[in-house]
Amino acid sequence: MSHTYEYPRPSLTADAVVLYSKPEGGWKILLIERGKEPFRGCKALPGGFVNEGETVEKAVGRELFEETGLELFENDFKLIGVFSKGGRDPRGWVVSTAFVAIFSPTLAPTTADLPVVLGTDDAASAKWYDFDQFYTFSDLEDVLDTYNLAFDHKEMVVKAFRWMIG
């Protein structure tokens, strides 16, 4: 069945903020290096476009696995927001659903036990990055500035931490 729409429609993406709380304090975050434009060579959250007929919950897990080799499941993710500000993606009107997943200490009791991640699909690389200890959201934003994240991924990470703290 063919549909025509009176209004333009955005593209839809799903992005994953995957965090690990280090036993000694502080955090690790899973980031990729983008292998393609836009923002080729920049760090970003794992994520990508939602396929036709796919839920955003399925898409975030699929994209995470495709780009890093890390497999998490729908119930591992919590929705932290919808990001739709104009100009957030130079490819056009793109709306992103952002999710957070906390990598459980029971799955990785120490940072040495964190899974190896690989840059695959359109990610040139994937890596767990240390976050220095931070005490305010301003400190968090300063730490994130050092990563020069693509798109509006800095806002997504800040929102994930706000969600965790309550």
Query: pLDDT tens digit string along 144-153?
Result: 999 999 999 9
Best CA proximity match to 98, nearest among 56, 41, 55, 36? 56
Best CA proximity match to 99, nearest among 133, 129, 56? 56
Give the mean model confidence (pLDDT) for residues 113-137: 88
The full set of domain ranges for the chain reads 11-165
In this predicted structure, what is the pLDDT of residue 126? 98
Higher-pLDDT residue of 73, 133: 73
> Does residue 1 register a pLDDT over 60?
no
Distance, CA of 157 to CA of 163 (rounded, Å): 10
pTM given for the model? 0.92
Least confident residue range of 74-78, 83-87, 108-112, 121-125: 108-112
> Does residue 43 register a pLDDT over 90?
yes
In this predicted structure, what is the pLDDT of residue 2? 67
Give the mean model confidence (pLDDT) for residues 58-67: 98
Q: How confident is the model at residue 25 (pLDDT cuts 50, 70, 90)?
A: confident
Q: What CATH number belongs to 11-165? A: 3.90.79.10
Distances (CA, A) of 29 to 19, 35, 133: 5, 19, 13
> Does residue 28 register a pLDDT over 80?
yes
Distance, CA of 38 to CA of 88 (rounded, Å): 11
- Counting residues of the chain whose pLDDT is more than 90, the rounded percentage is 69
In 2-30, which positions are buried (b, 16+ CB within 10 angstroms) versus exposed (e)?
Answer: eeeeeeeeeebbbbbbbbbebeeeebbbb
Give the mean model confidence (pLDDT) for residues 51-69: 97
